[in-house]
Every structure is written in structure tokens, then in C-alpha cells.
């Protein structure tokens, strides 16, 4: 079965430190990869996506993600965390064969001052 | 201008009632979705419409019935509400297979 795993329910980072939120997937072919962010009591917002090309993708709010085909991973990163980055982050994968996104369970990111 | 809007934002109702949630997008997208987010924040796709035609219909009780009167609207009607229907329901839209844009959510509480 196709799936997306976000192995950490929660990630705690001190403000100013680099952050990584992990995502691995099990989807056949060459899927499209996405990261979304959900702030409290809000809808999800698109952060970035990988379709093809450079393995390092840059997105909104200074976030970037690195695609690793051999490890089937798409980890979200930011060089210097802000308190305002605290939110719920979702990884999603779309097989090229259909419209449907396969979602990870989400990772709560907490940035402490 | 709001890209994807949902009404109502909050809905508190009794078990057994019937309720509807409305969604509208002004992005010119041709595909719309309904998601359910449970108390553990897990997202589950329920339905998707492309050009008013149902293309995704996940295992959802038939008490849930989506209706798309046109490309810009996708409504969700729920019959005989149950306690387990309490959740946040998100509408989203995209160009076919493109980035999805989400509405602010409708928080449904069934008492």
C-alpha cells in the first residue's frame, strides 16, 4: 500500500537553531512531493513542492526541502528557526497516476525562545 | 479576496440532525475536495470533484453526500449526524493535479 510517514509526532527546536522535519514515502514511480503548514485554527497552506529537477527545493517563509530518491525521503529544513514557525507540518505525496494526495500524519513543530 | 471560503465556520448541532457545509472558490480551479481532520489532526480525503464530476469517493458513510452545482462550489450535506462526525471539515481546490488551496475549515461539534 502507498503511504507517507512522518516519524516524529513532535519536534522541539530552540529559536535560531536549524530545524528538520522528516518525511519518507512508499509510492511507486516518480511522485510529486509537497509540504503544507497548518497554523492553529487555520486551514493548511502550501509551503513547497518537488516535481523534478534540483533535489533542493526552496519554498515560503525560508523553508526548503531536500528530495532523496534512494532514501525515498523529502525532509523539510530551515537554517534558523523562528518562534512563529511553530505549527503543524504535513508531508504529502501524489502519484503521477492519479489526482489524490497521500498525506502524512503531521508533525507538530515547537520553536522555543 | 478570500480564495477558498467555507460556511459556516462553526456548527454545533444535536445527534440525528441534518446539516450542510458550503464551499466556494474564486481561483478558477477545476477540482475541489472535502477533507475531514479528526481530533488527532489526521487528514482524510472524503471526496473530490473535477468539473462537477465525482472523481474520488473514499470509504465514507452514505450519510455524507457532496454536491457540486458548478466548478466554483462544492457543498457537503450530512444526514443523521453522529457523535463521531465531530471534526474539522476542510474544503480545498486545485487545478487538476496541482497545488491544493485550503479553506479555513468548518468545526463541527455533534452533541
The mean pLDDT value for B11-21 works out to 97
Residue A59 burial (CB count, 10 A): 18
Total of domains in chain A: 1
Domain range summary for chain B, segments of one domain joined by +: 4-110
Per mean pLDDT, which of A51-60, B10-19, B40-49, B50-59 is the most reliable?
Answer: B10-19
Chain A / chain B CB contacts < 8 angstroms: 48
pLDDT computed for residue A1 by the predictor: 81
B50 touches chain A (CB under 8 A): yes
Nearest to B101 among A41, A42, A46 (CB): A46
Q: Which domain holds residue A81?
A: 3-112
Nearest to A43 among B31, B56, B103 (CB): B103
Q: What is the CATH number of the domain that holds A12?
A: 2.60.40.10
Domain spanning B4-110: CATH superfamily: Immunoglobulins (2.60.40.10)
CA distances from B65 to A42, A101, B21, B46, B80 (A): 24, 21, 11, 10, 12
- pLDDT of A55 higher than 80: yes
Rounded to the nearest angstrom, the minimum Cα separation between A43 and chain B is: 4
How does pLDDT run across A85-100, given as a tens digit for each residue?
999 999 999 987 777 8
pLDDT computed for residue A60 by the predictor: 92
The mean pLDDT value for B18-47 works out to 94
CA–CA dist B78, A63 (Å, integer): 38
Amino acid at each position: 500500500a502507498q503511504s507517507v510517514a512522518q516519524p516524529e509526532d513532535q519536534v522541539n527546536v530552540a529559536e535560531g537553531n536549524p530545524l528538520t522535519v522528516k518525511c519518507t514515502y512508499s509510492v511507486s514511480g516518480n511522485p510529486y512531493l509537497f509540504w503544507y503548514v497548518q497554523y492553529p485554527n487555520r486551514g493548511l497552506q502550501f509551503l513547497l513542492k518537488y516535481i523534478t529537477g534540483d533535489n533542493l527545493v526552496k519554498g515560503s517563509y525560508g523553508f526548503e526541502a531536500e528530495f532523496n530518491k534512494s532514501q525515498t525521503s523529502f525532509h523539510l529544513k530551515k537554517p534558523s528557526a523562528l518562534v512563529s514557525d511553530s505549527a503543524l507540518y504535513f508531508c504529502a505525496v501524489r502519484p503521477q497516476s492519479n489526482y489524490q494526495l497521500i498525506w502524512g500524519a503531521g508533525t507538530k513543530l515547537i520553536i522555543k525562545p | 479576496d478570500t480564495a477558498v471560503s467555507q460556511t459556516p465556520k462553526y456548527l454545533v448541532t444535536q445527534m440525528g440532525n441534518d446539516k450542510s457545509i458550503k464551499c466556494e472558490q474564486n481561483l478558477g480551479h477545476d477540482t475541489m475536495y472535502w477533507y475531514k481532520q479528526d481530533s488527532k489532526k489526521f487528514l482524510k480525503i472524503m471526496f473530490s470533484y473535477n468539473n462537477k464530476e465525482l472523481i474520488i469517493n473514499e470509504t465514507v458513510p452514505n450519510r455524507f453526500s457532496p454536491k457540486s452545482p458548478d466548478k466554483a462550489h462544492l457543498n457537503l450535506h450530512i444526514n443523521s449526524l453522529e457523535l463521531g462526525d465531530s471534526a474539522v471539515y476542510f474544503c480545498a481546490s486545485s487545478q487538476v493535479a496541482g497545488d491544493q488551496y485550503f479553506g479555513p475549515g468548518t468545526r463541527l461539534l455533534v452533541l
